[in-house]
Structure 1
Amino acid sequence: MGRTAVLVGGFNLYHGMKKQRGRRYLWLDHVALAGKLRPRDEIVDVRYFTAAVLDDAAAAQRQQTYPDALTAQNPAVLTVVHGRYQRKRMQCRGCGASWTSYEEKETDVNIAVALTEIAASSGIDTVLVVSADSDLCPAVRAARRVNPGMTVVPAFPPHRRSGELAALLPSAFTIGETKLRQSQLPPVVVSPVTGTKYIRPAYWQ
């Protein structure tokens, strides 16, 4: 049995799950999923990388409830790592119309830094990277140089794939729907510390 760390690219996974089954699986327990993907390993460190949405109060509230529920369900194992969203003004070259777009920032860098830090530390045999972002390839190469004995395994979200990551790490695989369905948080998560209840958003049914 090995010791495994898990790095979850939240929005990469979110969009893959949403494309597959709408919002059905968004109330996902990443620690439970990791246990199903690596059943023979000890899951010792799960990091969920996300960023707060802008200009959408309802979405922001759902997004805040979810990581709080994750942390309450898995207080000893899971950490939420926040990046940020940035507004970007766009303009059509043809008609001149303009609009505001939003770009997620820092998540890729945060995952890359975490992967390198884990490689430089001792005690982790495998890192499961839940993402299909090819921008992580340089970090994977660096981690393997730092710690040749550590295994890095990309777990691609549904409808997401990186040919570059798959070529670099042939152990890459796609997360199946069954594992997502079996790894949902309880409808109501209760914090063991404060007693606060976190309820799955009705919008995610």
Structure 2
Amino acid sequence: MGRTAVLVDGFNLYHGMKKQRGRRHLWLDHVALASRLRRRDQIVDVRYFTAPVLDDAAAAGRQQTYLEALKAHNPGVLTVVEGRYQRKRMHCHACGTYWISYEEKETDVNIAVALMEIAALPTVDTVLVVSADSDLCPAVRSARRVNPQLTIVPAFPPHRRSGELRALLPSAFTISETKLRQSQLPPVVTDPVTGAKYLRPAYWQ
């Protein structure tokens, strides 16, 4: 039995799942998913990389409920690593309209740093990287130089591909809808320490 760490690019995965089935699979248990993707391994460390929603109180509330449910359901295994969103003022030169757009910051860097930390401290055999972001390729190359024995496997979210990552790591594969459907959190998650209950948002049904 191998020991596997999992690095989840939340932004990349979220948009892939939304394109595939809307909000149907957003109540996802990343530890359960990793266990299904690496059935012969012990999942020892799952890190979920995301950023707090800006300027939408309802969406921010759903996100916070989800993050608390994830941590409560997987104590000691799952860690949430937060980056940030940056507001950008956009302008259409053709019509003169201005609007605010949002750009996620720090996630790529946070994943790269985590990958290097894991490579430098060889306590795991495999890293499952749930992302199809080719910006991670330099970190993958560095991690392999630091620890040539470390196996790095990209798991592409639905509707997300990276030819560069696949060329670098031919073991790359796409996560199936079946695995996502089978790896949902319970409709109600109870914190084993505080007793707090977290309900799947009705908006995600």
Q: TM-score range by the shorter chain?
A: over 0.9
Matches within 5 A, 1:140-159: 140-159=140-159
Task: Tell me what 2:204 maps to.
Answer: 204
Take 1:177 and 1:87, find their aligned partners in 2: how far apart are those partners? 32
Task: Tell me what 1:75 maps to.
Answer: 75
1:56 and 2:56 equivalent? yes
Q: Which runs of 5+ in 1 are unaligned?
A: none
Task: Tell me what 1:23 maps to.
Answer: 23
The alignment-based identity, stated in percent, is 83
Take 2:97 and 2:184, find their aligned partners in 1: how far apart are those partners? 42
Aligned residue for 2:184, secondary structure, equals coil
Take 2:122 and 2:8, find their aligned partners in 1: how far apart are those partners? 21
Take 1:98 and 1:76, find their aligned partners in 2: how far apart are those partners? 45
Take 2:18 and 2:98, find their aligned partners in 1: how far apart are those partners? 27
Matches within 5 A, 1:1-205: 1-205=1-205
Deviations 1:154-201 (A, max 9, x none): 000000000100000000000001100100000000000100000000
Take 1:27 and 1:125, find their aligned partners in 2: how far apart are those partners? 28
* AA aligned opposite 1:81: V
Q: TM-score of the superposition, structure 2-length normalised?
A: 0.99
* AA aligned opposite 2:20: Q
* AA aligned opposite 2:61: Q
Root-mean-square deviation over aligned CA pairs: 0.5
Take 1:136 and 1:36, find their aligned partners in 2: how far apart are those partners? 24
Q: Which runs of 4+ in 1 moved over 6 A?
A: none
Take 1:137 and 1:169, find their aligned partners in 2: how far apart are those partners? 9
- 2:122 and 2:147 in contact (8 A); partners too: no
Deviations 1:31-83 (A, max 9, x none): 00000000000000000000011100000000000010000000010000000
Q: TM-score of the superposition, structure 1-length normalised?
A: 0.99
* AA aligned opposite 2:187: P
